[in-house]
Structure formats: C-alpha cells, structure tokens
Amino acid sequence: MLRTVSVVLAFLLNIANCEVLVKLPNGQIRGRTESTYTNVTFYAFQEIPFAKPPVGKLRFMAPQSNDNWEGILDCTKQTKICPQINHNDEQENEDCLYLNVYTPVEPSSNSNLSVIYYIYGGSFNHGSNKFDRFGPHFLIEQGVVVVIPNYRLGPMGFLSIQDEVIPGNNGLKDQNLGLKWVQENIQLFGGDPSKVTIIGQSAGAASVTLQILSKQSRGLFRAAVAQSGSALTPWSYQRHARDVAYEFAAEFDSNFTTKNTSEELLKLLQTIPEKDMATVFASFKPRVPGEGFTWAPVIEPAHESAFLTKNQHELLESGDINQVPLVIGICSEEDINKASDLESLKKQGSSYDKDVKQLVTEDLHLTDDDVKAQAGEQIRKVYSDGQFASNLSSVVKFQSDNSFTRGTIRFAELQSRLTDVYFYQFSYFGELTFAKEIYLPGAGKVPHAGDNYFLWTKMNRSNIHAYPDADALTSQRYVKLFADFSKYLNPTPEESDLMDNIVWPKVNATHFWYLDIDENLEVKLNPKGEAYRGWVDVYDSWGVKPFDTY
C-alpha cells in the first residue's frame, strides 16, 4: 500500500510540473501534459525510439529493435522526421524511427483502453507524425490511446533490388516493428495490446491493407481502417524496382550498370552522404515506365523476414490474410483538384480521345496494341458516349477511379467475403476540408484527403466550434465512427441522436451497402456503381491473371 501511494505521489508531482515519467523495458522517458479545447487532459510522449537508427550499415536494411538507454529520455518535443522529397525541413534525419503516444489516462493506470495506431500518407515520399499536423485531440476525447510512428520514405524506405541483399519494403517493416513495440509497451500508457486498430490515409491506407495481407503482422492488431487507398490501387506497387534501384545508383556513379552485383550496389549507396542522397532523391525521375510510385512496396523473394511474397489481389482472393474487421472508404471525387486547371484537363481529355490505349491500366497486363485499343474503347464507354474533351467531368471521374476509387472498392469487395467490412463515401465539403471548392457538373466535390482534418487537429486548431456547425457535427460523427469501431468492432454499435439513429450495415454477398457521410448521413447501395461495375467487366473481359493491383 505504501509503495502504491508513493508511486501515485511521484506521478502527481510530475503532473504539477507538466511532466510525466514512464519506465519502459528499454529505459525511462519523460512526457508532458496537454489538454483538448474541452479541457480533457492527456499525456503526450514524442520521439520514443522503437528501432535502432537505420544509418550506416543499417541503411536499406530491415529495422532492428532498439537498444536500452541510460537516464531519462526527453520525449516532450519533436526534433526529427524521415528524409523526404522536396520538403527542405531542418528536422529531416535518417535517424527517424520514433513514435508518438498520446493517452487520456495516467500512464500505468491499467485502463485497458482501445488503441489507434495511425499510419500517415504522402505517396511513400513525404509525411511525418508531427503533433501540429496530426493532433489527437478529437480522438483523445473519445477515450482511446493514439500511437503515430514515423516510417522511412523514398529510397530509404522502399528501394529494392528484389533479392535478399535489399529485398525492399523497409517502410512497411518499420510500421510493423512499431506495431510490435505497441504489443510490448502500450499497457504502460493505459492501452490494451489486444485492442489495436490500425488506421491510415492514402499511402497510409495502402500500408494498412498491406499489413492486413502480410503474415508478419498476424496478431498485431484486431481491426483496420483505410481512408482513400488500398494495396490494390495502382500507385501502391512498384513492378520495376530492380531497374529503378540501378538507375538510382548510376546517379552517384555513372559507370554503375546492371552488371554490378547487388552487394556492390548496397556498398555504394551506404557510403553516400545523407545530403547527397537527399539531393538526388528530390530530382530523380527513372526512365522505367509504370503506374506505381517510384518508391513503393514490392513483391519480395521468399526469405525469413519477407513482408510480402505474393501478388496482392491473389492473396486477398485466397483468404490467406489477417482476417480482421475493416472500415474502408473514399472521398466523393478524389481527383477533383485536377479541375482547378481546366485547360490542362481539356488537353488530357483530348489526349485520351486521340489514343484510348492511354486508358488501359498496367495491371490488366496487356501487351498487344490492338487488344489495348479494344480494351481502351470499352473503358471510354464507361465514362462517356462522346468525347472526353467535351465532357471534363468524365476525365476527372476516370482519374479518380483509376487512382483511388476502383482499387479501394475492390479491396472492400474481396475482403467482405472473409470478414466484416463497412464502406463509406465522405461527401461533406466544409472549411475543415482545407481545400478550394471546385464545382464541375457531374463530379463530386470532396478531394483526396478532404476528410483528414475532420479526424485530426491541424496546427493546434482543436476548437471544433470555431468552424461552422455542420463542420463540427461532421467531425464529431467521423471521429466517433472510427473510435467506436476501435472499441466495439462496429462503427455504430447502437442507435444515437448524433448519428441520426443510423445503423451502418456491412457489405454482404448480395448488397454493397455504404454510408454516405454528408451534411446528413444516408445508407446507400453500390459506391460509384455503374463505373465500378464497368471496370469489373473490363478486367473480366480483357485482364490477364493473376492480378496484382486492380
């Protein structure tokens, strides 16, 4: 009893000083107290190391668990983010594998709260877990613990020679090691390691769904949320990683060719100064064709620590995945921002009209130009009976579907055969969208990432009531849907006035239900119905299996 009292007194003494101490298996850390706009106190710990610094001989290697440290580690501020493209942030540092933990309860309180593990987006090229970008205030008010890791980006995170020397996917392996850290440590922050939900947006959504597909992640989380992306979206996969890697190496040594060994490539790139690496990273444009981002996940050769060794679509169809409940969805027009430049959009439409083969996606695996032309004509008819150039909304809708919508819906459709899946479309546009409203007849209005700051606070803008009432209401709904899903594995466990007594139905074999999140909530059928079914017909008619993306 005396020991318990002394621990509590020590904790309170630290609270009075706005500091909190927590003893982890690796060593002691110091955090700080914060509060939400509604005066809910929470405890913030930034830059907790979860891996050894991936520098020197560990550059391009899978992450390794961190060593112990002496003394008290200051985790009250953010000083490092991973190197990224065209960011020019003084905080960029290869030593970046740290995570942030935010908890609404006293650490070591044995509260067993649900845990949200958030993976940021950014094309696998940029992004970070910064507090001023992903403030946890709204989620904290729902009584969940929030964890946000950094993970390596660009070549540091996704360069691959597709052999065991540099197999690739290090950014995904960073996320995975962070999840293992959560299993071992989150109870010390009041979280329950058996109640972890992973959430991600864009490249983060692709990452979340890749964690679902990977055997390396089994048992590390019990539910998932994917916002605007999946492992099946074309940009989330690099088919030509080895060629890209050798082109990248040649930027530092013009005599370097594919005749050089993998070991020679690794040795060369591990000796390049960080600043030089960053300079080339920013300007590098490989000659290799393809729809995937230059630096993106790959299929690895089979080896002990491989993250992904089979085609994504094939894995999902087989059911050999982490079978966890899933919330997944899209914004109403992911690529509507393309319509901010109508002249460029018209040129793109004219280009499609001149050569419909441009509409044919790489994952159809077509090589014959005549076959591509026939497939392209079928794709054109999905969007327009006439010309793209005279119907600009058809250009935007094609690009939205091709980049985000089709692969996200397909992932939901396939996983719904295995687990509970809840699909949504975010259709509400407001001040919190942080985008210029673009009206294009026939197209939706919410762009990619237009939902994100209804979930997170940006630049400490935690007073939701400073925004229009409809913004505040939509934010409260969006946050509660995700928080309740993390707690109950059901986003609407009971009817409530906040949700207009809506009960969100699951996708099933006969009905593709989805929740349309607008000023009013409405349950609807078949997101992007005719366009999506048109694409399924294209893949069924022309696609060469096995598919990887979709």
Q: Comparing 6 with 367, which gets the higher pLDDT?
A: 367
Per the confidence metrics, is the pTM higher than 0.85?
yes
Q: Comparing 385 with 57, which gets the higher pLDDT?
A: 57
Q: How far is CA 80 from CA 200, 460, 527, in A?
A: 21, 19, 40
Opening angle at CA 506, ends 504 and 511, nearest 5: 110
Each residue's pLDDT tens digit, 224-282: 999 999 999 999 999 999 999 999 999 999 999 999 999 999 999 999 999 999 999 99
Element (H, E) at 242: helix 241-250
Each residue's pLDDT tens digit, 300-314: 999 999 999 999 999
Each residue's pLDDT tens digit, 192-234: 999 999 999 999 999 999 999 999 999 999 999 999 999 999 9
Local confidence band at 14 (pLDDT 50, 70, 90 cut-offs): very low
Q: Cβ(157)–Cβ(61) under 8 Å? A: no
pLDDT for the residue 87: 65
pLDDT at 16 over 70: no
pLDDT for the residue 3: 38
pLDDT at 327 over 60: yes
Tokens of 509: 């074999």
- The overall average pLDDT reported for the chain is 95
* Catalytic choice (202, 207, 228, 462): 202
pLDDT for the residue 41: 98
Each residue's pLDDT tens digit, 34-43: 999 999 999 9
Q: How far is CA 306 from CA 297, 324, 453, in A?
A: 12, 21, 34
pLDDT at 26 over 70: yes
Per-residue b or e along 264-274, where b marks 16 or more CB atoms closer than 10 Å to that residue's CB: ebbeebeebee
Tokens 């946890």 label which residue?
A: 136
pLDDT at 407 over 60: yes
Residue 431, CB-side half-sphere exposure with 13 Å CA sphere: 13
Q: Comparing 486 with 15, which gets the higher pLDDT?
A: 486
Tokens of 335: 């690529």
- The verdict on whether 202 is a catalytic residue reads yes
pLDDT at 176 over 80: yes
What does the pLDDT average to over 176-199? 99
